[in-house]
Structure 1
Amino acid sequence: MQSDSEWLDRAKEVVRSDADAILAALEGIDGEFLAVARLFAECRGKILVTGSGTSGNIAGRAAHLLSVGGTPAFYLPPADGLHGGLGVLGPEDLVLALSKGGSSDELNEFCKRAKTLCAGLISITADKASALAALSDHVIHLILPARSDLGAVVATGSSLATAAITDALVEVCRVARGYSWDRLLFTHPAGAVGRDAEQSLKRLHGAEG
């Protein structure tokens, strides 16, 4: 049985590892990131975001936030895509695939087929030599410290780092598309965000001024 101090030390170690993984994601904010951001900002279709397992959860979050920020996006699990969901893709759409290792057979089969139906395939992965990276038109490289994930097995820090990169895409594209805070808050009238919209706009416009 571990002591209270040992529990606290382990918990703090996890948080430090998560923080280190997110900070390491800064290395992926480079020219390739910029090329992807331009593609997203100029996309006339929608961004299909996909991933398996924990990456799928991050993909769903990314699709939601891209849409919130004025870049139309949706999440489609690769398994659903391989059961007919691929039919949603059009020639002006883009696919963003998230995978730490880039070796999921299901995801890669989805992306192989999706690439023939859309305007381009972008991936965020830690392995630039992976099958997913080889399929992709653009790869945002996820650079991770050695101890990012629990036991180097559970996608803890790596998933947070991926989320940080997609958050950066959300904001860069929001600005590039001219999607103002007024428009964002108009499409987000519910919850505390909607309730405090007037105050938020005063604060945001004040900051911009």
Structure 2
Amino acid sequence: MRADSDEIAISNSATARSVVASPTSCAAIAGESEACTGKIVVIGAGTSGAVARRLAHLLSVCGTAAFYLNPSDGLHGSLGAVGTGDVVIAISKGGESTEINEFIRRATTRGASTVALTAVLDSELAECVNIAVRIDSASADPGNVIAMGSTLATSAWGDALAVALMRHRQYAWADVLYSHPGGAFGRHSEELLAGVGDPHREG
């Protein structure tokens, strides 16, 4: 049992590294997001919904206005929050979730740009967005059923996007800490700020 767990962990880590190391898709989405004149809306259902909420939070922390919207709620009126100038990022491993795909179609009609993070490029979702990114995680989930490693890979890709946008926008550490006055970060913000440099000055 231990050996199987180790193998899964190694596979998951390798998948995450390969996703982050692939600059093309991240650069394309970063360009789309940087040109966004509105906000970024991240959607997903089930486990992908948890990843979507995390990504929306990290984008906001890193200086890109974003929020999570449950796609089912969107089809009951919340879609009204999406419009021209917005970018919708949909996370769906299989790309065949009815509520996500309908949300994307209607968001497109309302003038939003759309992005899919999926494992299947010939899925319905991938075919109805402006940009589709394939996150290869076929061997990362036990039995290719339980969403474990695939969520790690998608999260790693989202982390890379958040940092890329932070640097493109020249969003400084002082800005990050100013918007995070709570908790240990807030209590020790001066010491933290003294220990870091502006992210856009780093190599």
**2:185 is aligned with 1:205:** no
Match of 2:83 among 87, 90, 97: 90
Aligned amino acid, residue 85 of structure 2: E
Q: Structure 1 length normalisation: TM-score?
A: 0.90
Q: Which residue in 2 is equivalent to 1:25?
A: 19
C-alpha distance in 1, partners of 2:192/2:4? 38
Match of residue 102, structure 2, among 109, 114, 132: 109
1:122 to 111, 115, 120: 115
Give the partner amino acid of 2:177: L
Structure 1, unpaired ranges of 5+: 1-6
The answer to which of 198-207 and 86-95 deviates more is 198-207
Q: CA RMSD in A?
A: 1.7
**Structure-2 separation of matches of 1:103 and 1:93:** 23
Q: Aligned residue for 2:10? A: 16
Q: CA–CA distance in 1 between the matches of 2:175 and 2:26?
A: 25
Q: Cα deviation per residue 1:120-170 (whole Å; 9 max; x = unaligned)? A: 0011111111110101101122122x4210111011111110011111110
Encode CA deviations 1:56-110: one digit per residue, 9 max, x unaligned. Answer: 0000000000000110000001100011110111211110001111111111111
Shift of 1:196: 2.1
| Partner secondary structure for residue 115 of structure 1 | helix
Say yes or no: does 1:143 pair with 2:122: no
Task: Tell me, yes or no, if structure 1 residue 176 matches structure 2 residue 178.
Answer: no
**Alignment size in residue pairs:** 201
Aligned to 1:58: 51
For the residues of structure 1 that align with 2:47 and 2:80, how far apart are their CA atoms?
24
How far apart are residue 206 of structure 1 and its match? 8.9
1:196 aligns with 2:188: yes
Larger Rg: 1
Give the whole-Å Cα distance in 1 for the aligned partners of 2:129 and 2:26.
Answer: 13
Q: What letter corresponds to residue 192 of structure 2 in structure 1?
A: S
Query: Aligned partners of 2:103, 2:4: CA distance in 1, in Å?
Result: 38
Alignment match, 1:3: none
* 1:99 alignment partner in structure 2: 92
